[in-house]
Chain A
Amino acid sequence: MPPSLPPLYPITLQHGLLLGAALFSVGLAGVLAKRNAIVILMAVEVMLNGVNVTFVAFAGYLQPPVLTGQVFAVFVIAVAAAEAAVGLAIIIAIYRLRQTVQVDKADELRG
């Protein structure tokens, strides 16, 4: 079955999925295109939000309703918070050594 865009309204599952995919991809573009490690971290958060939107969309529309998707999203948010802390700790440590947070400067290990 060829993919087709959902109708303008009402809002359906497909709308949510499309938004999720869009956020995921835009976040990915940010990860691949930005140099600043902290901004990359932010872009990762955008990707995770894309996934969360997908989860919530499924949780909202699936019949019979199962909230597992929302619970999953709660955990994703929790992990994202921990991840941010971990990432920032490492970024601060690398900044202390090199006075920069540009990821393309971290290429001593290669080959």
Chain B
Amino acid sequence: MDVGLLLSEIILAGAAGGLLLAEAFVPRLAKRRGMLLLATMSLVASAIVLVPRAGATATSFSGAFIVDGFTVYFKLLLLAATFLVLLGSGRFLDEVEDRQAESIALVLLATAALMLLVSATELITLYISLEMAGLSFAFLAAWHKHSDRSIEAGLKFFLLNALSSAVLLYGMAILYGITGETQLDAIAGNLASAPTPALLLSVSFLLAGFGFKVSAVPFQMWTPDVYEGAPTPITAYLSVASKAAGFAIVIRVLQTALPSAQQEWMTLVALLAAVTMTVGNVVALIQTNIKRMLAYSTIAQAGYILVGIAAGTDQGLAAVLFYLAAYTATNLAAFTAVIEISGRTNSERIADFAGLHQRSPWLAFALAVSLLSLAGLPPLAGFFAKIYVFWAAIQSGLVWLVLLGVLNSAISLYYYAQVIHDMYMVPGREAAPTRAMPPLAAALTITVVGVFGLGILSSFFMGAAEAAARTLSQ
């Protein structure tokens, strides 16, 4: 039993515990800057511990826990996302002044939970990590507990999350009944070569449960409400970290445990992908609140990512991995810009972004770049991500799905461009330009550079994604 494999998660949990203890016993020392420093240091330390593990596959805890290229890829993505979210959370932490330590600690614990989830290769471990992450998110969504909207978001997330895990659990129970196993690879070993109706029922329930995590239609309905109501940094965190881990576990379960039903799950995922991207884009067209619009946009993005999973090949997986990296950078750039913009104007209405270009050119530029990347315009990250995913799908014969995807991208350009149009073309009211807090500015710069870098140097990052995807299929 190699506890060392868990070190990166232990560091985060330890830092969270340290924060709570510091706040309880030496409140004078627990200043925001110090706490953020500790948190980011723990993230960095965790990443440093992880990187050397990328080369080899190691399992521990009776095969319940795995560290390989695939998990390291996702964990580094999660750590980077958490790091950037923390950088951009200054305003949020000001607003929850009396519970700063708990806020940061919960984010760290949620990250640890997602990292455990990514590494879980056994159903019980998977379930309990998932619940730990879900409960953290429910709290974080409700963290502005004096705000009607935040607490409503928390309630909705909590209830639907509980239901989704119930369905997931039912699917796991059936899978356990069929195979008598909870280890993913043992499940695959015990499955008959042809799927039975019971297995398909289980697969459907599992997909529904995971569909909730990744916001696939029709399991996505919590997404816009929670994204709108939750504190914006938490929304940013949910939209990237939770989603990335959700996709990681979908891929892990489908690939490792259910290869015998591959033909069936490919059909189901393709169906989900088609519905998800279409509904996401079409409803995004008529949104007036930027966070809601971005929520529907993330739903649409989940649809594109599902296209890559539906391809069912190594190439599709690599494309999904790359897509998630591109998506993380892009969405974080967008949300970080939105945090700052809406914080200044005290409004999340898209109409109030008018003339932003004059007031804060850098913010407007960052938001415009991220939106164009989401729309999939070259040479930004989103463009290459879409190319890779669509190409993999074409190679698997899913031409109809790719055509739908391209049509959807065209539709999406409309609402993304609308925001840019408002920012650049519509004169806005005068407001004194203010300076963003340095950490937030840094987060914004890093993400925008990422959006360009992942695009222009896509082949380099795609190479990493391919290597990570290969470790899974071995």
CB atoms of A and B under 8 A apart anywhere in the complex? yes
Residue positions of A touching B, CB distance < 8 A: 17, 20, 24, 27, 31, 37, 40-41, 44, 47-48, 50-51, 54-55, 57-58, 62, 64, 66, 68-69, 71-72, 75-76, 79, 82-83, 86-87, 90-91, 93-94, 97-98, 103, 106-111
Q: Report the nearest A residue to B172, measured CB to CB.
A: A72
**Which of the 9-residue segments B46-54, B177-185, B399-407 touches chain A?**
B177-185
Given A44-B166, A107-B152, A108-B152, 6 more pairs with CB closer than 8 A: A68-B182, A69-B176, A82-B131, A93-B154, A97-B146, A109-B224
A-B contacts at CB below 8 angstroms, number:
119
Q: Report the nearest B residue to A55, measured CB to CB.
A: B173
Q: Point out the residue from B138, B173, B181, B225 that lies within 8 Å of A109, measured CB to CB.
A: B225
Query: Cβ of B174 < 8 Å from any Cβ of A?
Result: yes
B173 pairs with A58, CB closer than 8 A: yes
| Contacting residues, chain B, for A107 (C-beta < 8 A) | 152
| Contacting residues, chain B, for A108 (C-beta < 8 A) | 148-149, 152, 229
Q: Point out the residue from A55, A66, A75, A93 that lies within 8 Å of B128, measured CB to CB.
A: A75
| Contacting residues, chain A, for B182 (C-beta < 8 A) | 68, 72
Query: Cβ of B163 < 8 Å from any Cβ of A?
Result: yes
Q: Report the nearest A residue to B138, measured CB to CB.
A: A86
B228 pairs with A54, CB closer than 8 A: no
B169 pairs with A48, CB closer than 8 A: yes
30 contacts between A and B (CB under 8 A): A17-B177, A20-B173, A24-B166, A44-B162, A48-B166, A51-B169, A51-B170, A54-B177, A58-B180, A66-B181, A69-B176, A72-B124, A72-B172, A76-B169, A79-B127, A79-B128, A79-B131, A86-B135, A87-B162, A90-B154, A90-B155, A93-B151, A103-B155, A106-B152, A109-B149, A109-B153, A109-B156, A109-B228, A110-B225, A111-B224
B181 pairs with A90, CB closer than 8 A: no
Q: Point out the residue from B131, B163, B224 that lies within 8 Å of A31, measured CB to CB.
A: B163
A110 to B135, CA, bound (A): 23
Q: Which 6 A/B pairs are nearest by Cβ-Cβ distance?
A: A109-B225, A58-B177, A54-B173, A106-B152, A47-B166, A51-B169
Q: Point out the residue from A31, A64, A71, A94 that lies within 8 Å of B155, measured CB to CB.
A: A94
A53 to chain B, nearest CB (A): 9
Given contacts A72-B123, A82-B135, A83-B162, contact A106 B177 (CB under 8 A): no
A54 to B146, CA, bound (A): 41
Among A64, A72, A98, chain B packs the most CB atoms within 10 A around the CB of A72
A108 to B180, CA, bound (A): 45
| Contacting residues, chain B, for A40 (C-beta < 8 A) | 159
A39 to B386, CA, bound (A): 45
Given contacts A68-B181, A97-B148, A109-B228, contact A90 B158 (CB under 8 A): yes
A83 pairs with B135, CB closer than 8 A: yes
B180 pairs with A66, CB closer than 8 A: yes
Name B's interface SS: helix
Q: Report the nearest B residue to A13, measured CB to CB.
A: B177
Q: How many B residues touch the partner, as a band?
A: 35 or more
A101 to chain B, nearest CB (A): 9
A58 pairs with B176, CB closer than 8 A: yes
Among B142, B149, B170, chain A packs the most CB atoms within 10 A around the CB of B170
A47 to B165, CA, bound (A): 10
Name A's interface SS: helix
A51 pairs with B155, CB closer than 8 A: no
| Contacting residues, chain A, for B165 (C-beta < 8 A) | 79
A94 to B124, CA, bound (A): 32
A91 pairs with B152, CB closer than 8 A: no
Could you give, for residues 128-152 of chain B, a 1 whenever the CB lies within 8 Å of some chain A CB and a 0 otherwise?
1001000100110010011011011
A51 to B163, CA, bound (A): 12
A36 to chain B, nearest CB (A): 12
A98 pairs with B148, CB closer than 8 A: yes
A12 to B184, CA, bound (A): 27
Query: Cβ of B292 < 8 Å from any Cβ of A?
Result: yes
B159 pairs with A103, CB closer than 8 A: yes
B182 to chain A, nearest CB (A): 5
A90 pairs with B169, CB closer than 8 A: no
| Contacting residues, chain A, for B135 (C-beta < 8 A) | 82-83, 86
A62 to B176, CA, bound (A): 10
A101 to B173, CA, bound (A): 32
B229 pairs with A109, CB closer than 8 A: yes
B127 pairs with A51, CB closer than 8 A: no
B123 pairs with A44, CB closer than 8 A: no
A37 to B148, CA, bound (A): 16
B225 pairs with A51, CB closer than 8 A: no
A68 pairs with B176, CB closer than 8 A: yes
A3 to B181, CA, bound (A): 25
